[in-house]
Amino acid sequence: MVYLGKLPPPLLEKIVFPFQGTKRKEVLFGAGLGRDCGIVNFGEDLVAVTCDPITGAPGFLGIFAVQVVVNDLVCSGAEPVALLLSLIFPPHSSPEEIEGIMREVDTVCREFGIAVLGGHTEISPVVTKPLVHCAGLGRVRPGFVPDVTAVAPGDAILITKGVGIEGTAILAWERESELQEAFGARFAERAKGFLSMMSVFPEARVILPLKPHCLHDVTEGGLLGALWEVCSGRGLGFEIEEQRVFVFPETESIAHYFHIDPLRLISSGTLLVFTPSPREIMSTLEALSIPVFEIGVVTACRSMKIRRKDGRIEEVTTCPQDELWRVIARL
């Protein structure tokens, strides 16, 4: 089987999730669909642990690497504390290139008050492009911890900002000259600037005290992939309306140009919220001028449906592969 991107959930459940080592009483949450952090109880505080590789970004690897783990940690109710990095560079990489990535890491870590504990750096012929793998640690105070296991039928589904944020930025940097020719230089610059919207830290931080059932950063597979992961892991379904899902004009134009679905496009920066009390969360975010949209509801059955703008009902029968990989495969 040839497959690019994350392994689909059925394959994860078959060849990855069964192998989780020793069961320990300190582990509150381990690996599972829709869950991006493990939670370990060491006594007074809980510790959230996560890791992610950055492989699809054309540049700014240090920014992407830190931002992704920060998003995962805060969605698990954690205060980001520290991280470890593994950096693998292809032959002929320069010291300046390595230093540039570390400067990016340092800048973002200082922004969020995160310490870099160490890691590993090497040159290897195994890779053809730089690979950055980041592991993050966060502190979780005892008490409320949002988790996929709390998602229930009837929960409202909210998103912040809009969809396709990260994918828009990556494609704008990767295909800049092509997009400049199609839409103009100002358009390309705006799309590249989506990099600045990749954090969900501001909205997650103010939502957590309102006790949502689950927070999830929309990454690979886009909005539909994130919904699939969360609901499939609980044996649930969802019904959403495309008309309610905000798509940035730049994302809409890029999606039309490349013939891709923005709802299946990687979107770090979009926070997916499952809650029985949407009004309180929405009013809190709106008071802070953070865009938020109620797009649908969790259902008791496994059926996963989206009502398209033309009224057509589309059933999502498998976890979507990210549209970014389809575009990159054409390069």
pLDDT recorded at residue 270: 98
Q: Evaluate if residue 227 carries a pLDDT over 90.
A: yes
Tell me whether residue 3 is in a domain. Answer: no
Same domain, 161 and 133: no
Tell me the C-alpha distance between 119 and 138, whole Å: 17
- Span 264-287, average pLDDT: 97
pLDDT recorded at residue 15: 82
Same domain, 154 and 70: no
Tell me the C-alpha distance between 83 and 70, whole Å: 9
Contact 54, 61 (CB under 8 A): yes
Q: Evaluate if residue 117 carries a pLDDT over 80.
A: yes
> H-helix or E-strand containing 313?
strand 313-315
Q: Name the residue among 236, 225, 229 with its Cα closest to residue 151.
A: 236
Mean pLDDT, rounded, of the chain = 90
Same domain, 195 and 113: no
Share of the chain above pLDDT 90, in %: 64
- CATH number of domain containing 165: 3.90.650.10
What are the contacts of 288-291 at 24+ separation with CB within 8 A?
A: 288/202, 288/203, 288/206, 290/160, 290/161, 290/202, 290/203, 290/206, 291/160, 291/161, 291/162, 291/246
Tell me whether residue 160 is in a domain. Answer: yes
Same domain, 127 and 162: no
Residue of higher predicted confidence among 7 and 176 = 176
Q: Which of 140, 158, 175 is the last residue of a domain?
A: 140
- Span 110-131, average pLDDT: 90
Tell me whether residue 251 is in a domain. Answer: yes
Same domain, 124 and 165: no
Number of H helices, E strands in the chain: 11, 13
Same domain, 285 and 323: yes
Q: Name the residue among 137, 156, 47, 61 with its Cα closest to residue 102.
A: 61
Tell me whether residue 313 is in a domain. Answer: yes
Q: Evaluate if residue 234 carries a pLDDT over 80.
A: yes
Tokens of 108: 């973002």
Q: Which of 89, 106, 140 is the last residue of a domain?
A: 140
Domain that holds residue 108: 24-140
Q: Which of 100, 119, 140 is the last residue of a domain?
A: 140
pLDDT recorded at residue 251: 98
Each residue's pLDDT tens digit, 146-167: 999 999 999 999 999 999 999 9
Confidence tier at 5 by pLDDT (50, 70, 90): low
- Span 202-220, average pLDDT: 95
Confidence tier at 58 by pLDDT (50, 70, 90): low
pLDDT recorded at residue 261: 97
Same domain, 183 and 233: yes
- Span 273-286, average pLDDT: 97
- Span 73-90, average pLDDT: 91
Each residue's pLDDT tens digit, 243-264: 999 999 999 999 999 999 999 9
- Span 219-246, average pLDDT: 94
Same domain, 159 and 271: yes
Pick from 28-42, 89-103, 156-170, 268-282: least confident: 28-42
Same domain, 121 and 239: no
Q: Evaluate if residue 25 carries a pLDDT over 90.
A: no
| Torsional class of 206: left (φ above 0), alpha (ψ -120 to 50), beta (otherwise) | alpha
Q: Name the residue among 237, 201, 230 with its Cα closest to residue 216.
A: 230
Query: Edge-to-edge strand order for the sheet containing 115-123?
Result: 27-29, 38-41, 46-54, 131-140, 79-89, 115-123
Tell me whether residue 179 is in a domain. Answer: yes
Tokens of 301: 């059955």
Confidence tier at 46 by pLDDT (50, 70, 90): confident
Residue of higher predicted confidence among 11 and 295 = 295
Same domain, 163 and 260: yes
Residue of higher predicted confidence among 203 and 61 = 203
Tell me whether residue 164 is in a domain. Answer: yes
Same domain, 281 and 210: yes
pLDDT recorded at residue 144: 79
Tell me whether residue 11 is in a domain. Answer: no
Q: Evaluate if residue 55 carries a pLDDT over 70.
A: no
- CATH number of domain containing 129: 3.30.1330.10
Each residue's pLDDT tens digit, 135-144: 999 988 877 7
Counted domains in the chain: 2
- Span 203-212, average pLDDT: 96
Same domain, 244 and 282: yes
Q: Evaluate if residue 274 carries a pLDDT over 70.
A: yes
Tell me whether residue 227 is in a domain. Answer: yes
For residue 127, the SS3 value is coil
